[in-house]
Amino acid sequence: FYVVLKGTLESHSLLFTTEVDAIDNDVQCDPGSTAAYVKLRSATDKTSMSQVFKFRRHKLLTYWSQCFLEGFPRVLIGFRTVDHKVHSIESYTVEEMEDIGQNYWSAKVCLSFLDKLLSFIKDSVTEDDPDVVYSFIYDIREGRNVTCKRLFQPGEFKIL
C-alpha cells in the first residue's frame, strides 16, 4: 500500500508518497508512525569485490536515502543468484547502511546536496502554472552543477 508522508529537511517542507512493502508486527508504535515500516529490496550476490563495491557504493546509498527520507528504520534485502533466485535475506538499519557505506558516500554530503537542490528549485520555479514545465539537469562532467531551463515545448515531459 501507499502512504502520504510529510517531513522537513532544513527549511524545506516535504510532502510525498511512498510504498510500504511490509510492516514489522513486533514493533510497537503510535498510529501514523513509520517505525514499523520495512522496505523490501533485492540485490545481486556479493561474491566478487566489484559486486561488493557496487552494493556498498550504489545499492546501499539508494536504500539508505529512501529509508532515511521516508522514516523507515530498516530494509530487508534478498540476495539473488544470476538466475534471480533469492538464497539469503539480510536486514539493515538506516544506521548500519550509513556505517557500511561510509567509505563510499557520506550521508551529510547527500543531505546537504538535497537541501541545496531544493533551494535551487524553489528559486528557479517562478511561475505557478500547470502548463509550464522546467527541466533540471545534473551533469557530473560539468562541475557537478544543476542547471534549470523552462521548456517552451514540453511535449512528453508535461505530466499534469
Q: Are residues 104 and 148 in the same domain?
A: no
Looking at the structure of the chain, the number of domains it has is: 2
Q: Per-residue confidence at 145, pLDDT binned at 50, 70, 90?
A: confident
Q: What is the pLDDT of residues 78-104, one digit of tens each?
A: 999 989 999 999 999 999 999 999 999
User: What percent of the chain is modeled with pLDDT above 90?
Assistant: 79
Residues in the chain: 160
8 burial level (CB within 10 Å; 0-12, 13-18, 19+): exposed
Query: Same domain for 54 and 91?
Result: yes
Handedness of CA 146, 147, 150, 153 (dihedral sign): negative
What the block records as the C-alpha cell of 65 is 536515502
Residue type, 111: L
Tell whether 120 is covered by a domain: no
Q: How confident is the model at residue 152 (pLDDT cuts 50, 70, 90)?
A: confident
Residue 102 lies in a domain: yes
Q: Is the pLDDT of residue 119 over 80?
A: yes
What percentage of the chain reaches a pLDDT higher than 70? Answer: 99
| Structure confidence at residue 159 (pLDDT) | 72
**Do residues 107 and 141 share a domain?**
no
pLDDT at position 157 over 80:
no
Q: CA 134, CA 117: separation in Å to the nearest integer?
A: 14
Contact 104, 56 (CB under 8 A): yes
| Torsion on CA atoms 22, 28, 34, 38, rounded to nearest 10 | -30
**Residue 26: is its pLDDT beyond 90?**
yes
pLDDT for residue 88 = 95
Domain that holds residue 87: 2-111
